[in-house]
Amino acid sequence: MVSPAAPTGSGPWGLFFSRICVDESMIRASFFIDGFNLYHALKRLNAPHLKWADLPKLMQRQISPKSERIADIFYFSAYAYWWPDRRRRHEEYVRALESSGVEIVLGHFKRKDGKCNSCGARWDAHEEKETDVNIALCILNEAYKDTYDRAYIVSRDSDLKPAIAMVKAQFPHKEVIVVAPPNLGHATDLIQVADAKRKISTLQVEQSLFPEFVIDAGGNVVAKRPAEYNPPK
C-alpha cells in the first residue's frame, strides 16, 4: 500500500515533467479516484474490456493540456478477498497502474452478517471500509502540502463533501472539480461545494486502455491483461 503522503511529482505525469523543462505557470492538477465508484460504473456498461482502463491516459483527457499538467494520480480501492478470481484480476490491474506511476491507497473489506427481515435467511456480507476516509484525508493532506492547484475528485460519494468544503475554506485559491464516472450523474452534495463538474465519457475510456502486456521502463512485463478483459473481436 502506498501512503497518501507521497511527494508531488511522484505520479506518471509529474515524474515525466520533472525530467524536462517545466512551465511553472501551468496549473498543477491532481486526481483522486474512487476505484469502486469507477469500477461499478464501468461494470454497468456491460463491456468488460473497459475495466482495463489506463488511468493516466484517461485523466489526461480531463485536463486542458495547454494550461494544466498532472502532478499526481491517487487510486483508492480494496481487494475483495473472498472472490479469488476477482481479486486476481484486481491485483493485476493494480500492478499495471503502479507501473504507470499511479499512487495506490488500499482500504479493506469487513465481513458482516447479512439477514433478510422477511424470510429470516442469513448470509455472509462484506462492507468496504476506509476508502472514503482515505480519499478525504489525501485531498486535505495534499492541499496542506501544496502539491496541487486543482483537485479532480472522481467519485459520486457524498461523504466527501466535508473534505472538499474544508479545502475550499482553508485554501480558497485552490480549485476542486468533481468528475462523474461514465453514464452516471453527479452527486448533488459534491456539486454544492465544488468549483465545477466534469464527466468521463465511455468513448474516453475506450480510447484509454492499457495494452495486453504492460511493460515497465526496464522492459519487463509487469502486468498482463486478464482474458476476461480482452476487447471484443
Name the one residue in this structure whose C-alpha cell is 502486468: 223
pLDDT on residue 9: 42
For 52, 71, 162, 208, 218, the CA distances from 14, given in Å and listed in that order, are 22, 4, 28, 19, 19
Distance from C-alpha of 206 to C-alpha of 89, rounded to nearest angstrom: 19
Is residue 144 predicted with pLDDT exceeding 60?
yes
Pick from 16-30, 156-170, 180-194, 207-221: least confident: 16-30
Strand ranges inside the chain, DSSP E: 27-34, 68-77, 103-106, 108-115, 122-129, 150-154, 175-180, 196-199, 213-215, 221-224
Q: According to the model, what pLDDT value does residue 189 have?
A: 94
Measured CA to CA, the distance from residue 24 to residue 42 in angstroms comes to 35
State the fold for domain 27-229.
Rossmann fold (3.40.50)
Q: Do 103 and 97 touch, CB atoms closer than 8 A?
A: no
146 φ/ψ sector (left φ>0, alpha ψ -120 to 50, else beta): left
Place of cell 476508502: 131
The domain ranges of the chain are 27-229
Full-model pTM: 0.82
DSSP code of residue 229 = G
pLDDT at 4: 41
**Residue 196 confidence (pLDDT):** 96
Point out the least confidently predicted range of 37-46, 102-111, 176-185.
Answer: 102-111
The residue ranking higher by pLDDT, 107 or 206, is 206
Per DSSP, the three-state class of 205 is: helix
Higher pLDDT, 13 or 26: 26
Structure confidence at residue 19 as a pLDDT band (50, 70, 90)? very low
* 218 φ/ψ angles, rounded to the nearest 5 degrees: -85, 5
Pick 200 or 80 by higher pLDDT.
Answer: 200
- The pLDDT-based confidence of 153 (bands split at 50, 70, 90) is very high
Q: What is the CA radius of gyration of the chain?
A: 18
Going by the DSSP 8-state scheme, the letter that residue 52 receives in this structure is S
Q: What are phi and psi of 73, to 5 degrees?
A: -130, 125
Per-residue pLDDT band for 129 (boundaries 50, 70, 90) equals low
All three cell numbers of 209:
486502455
Q: What's the whole-number average pLDDT of the chain? A: 85
